Amino acid sequence: MKTKIIFYFSFFLIFFYGCEYIPNNPIESVSSDLIQIDSLSLPNELLLSINNKYQAKIILSSNRENIIIFANLYDPKYKLIMENLIFQKNLQLNKTVFTAEIKFDSNYINGNYLLEIFVKNKNFQKLLLQKKFYFFNGKENIAPIITDLIFPDTVIVGQYFTFSIKVIDYNGYQDIKRVYFKLYDENGNFLAQDDMRDNGDPIYGDAAANDSVFSYRNFFTSAAANKQRKFEIQAEDFGGLKSVKLSHIVFVKQ
């Protein structure tokens, strides 16, 4: 669902758009009387300098036959990057041991990854658990750089305007977490903030997707007429580093 901030400044409203996210904490929920987790080995982090494989181990007690465990892996942007990874199955006494290895390399970005693990047989399928873990690829993290700001100096009440900025991240485009602005009135009071887009969506004034140019399109209402408004723009990467802030003041003409 796409929503935007409309710049009301006597009273302003922010409509938050829905977004997918990685939970802050692992959710380890299961089960029924027929499926019981006896033991888990799911590391909280993977450091490429030490190991290039995330190793998962689950021990179940179950009276169901032909149990299969598989997983889906999501990157820090909650993009599905691995689907239906089947765990290897071994029987040990009255327990069933499931293991899997996920190989990482330096092309994977730093950040929190989400592993969703499912259990199924021919009669049922359910989410067994979710696990978040941090991956570090060993590369030095460099803060993003923002440049080439395009922004009008004067805008007119009720008329759409667009501004854009180019972002450079030496750890790769995929390391850019967000580019956002904060808006202030002429007295320095905070009014609103929102993310800029690089998705090729004309609603946000973006000309081309994934070209490192982030854009935003909106308009001011009469509440801002004949006043100045200050924008502060900043980029953040998945390592938590932020660019310098670039500021721009516009005059809103009646």
Predicted local distance difference test score (pLDDT) of residue 64: 59
Using CA atoms, how far apart are residues 209 and 153, in angstroms rounded to an integer? Answer: 26
Predicted local distance difference test score (pLDDT) of residue 91: 83
Stated pTM of the model: 0.65
Predicted local distance difference test score (pLDDT) of residue 242: 96
Using CA atoms, how far apart are residues 208 and 218, in angstroms rounded to an integer? Answer: 18
Predicted local distance difference test score (pLDDT) of residue 147: 96
Predicted local distance difference test score (pLDDT) of residue 176: 94
Predicted local distance difference test score (pLDDT) of residue 63: 58
pLDDT tens per residue, the chain (254 residues)? 444 555 543 333 333 233 333 344 443 444 444 577 888 999 999 999 888 999 999 988 765 568 899 999 999 989 999 999 999 998 887 788 999 999 999 889 888 999 999 999 888 889 999 999 999 998 888 999 999 999 999 999 999 999 999 999 988 898 899 999 999 999 999 999 999 999 999 999 999 999 999 999 999 999 999 999 999 999 999 888 999 999 999 999 99
Using CA atoms, how far apart are residues 27 and 119, in angstroms rounded to an integer? Answer: 15
Q: What domains appear along the chain, each with residue ranges and CATH number?
A: 35-136 (2.60.40.10), 145-253 (2.60.40.1930)
Q: Nearest-5° angle of CA 231, CA 236, CA 242?
A: 85
The 10 Å CB-count burial string (b at 16+, else e) for 27-54 is eeebeeeebebeeeebeeebebeeebeb
Using CA atoms, how far apart are residues 110 and 113, in angstroms rounded to an integer? Answer: 9
Using CA atoms, how far apart are residues 137 and 23, in angstroms rounded to an integer? Answer: 21
Cβ neighbours, 10 Å, residue 7: 20
Using CA atoms, how far apart are residues 168 and 144, in angstroms rounded to an integer? Answer: 6
Predicted local distance difference test score (pLDDT) of residue 62: 66
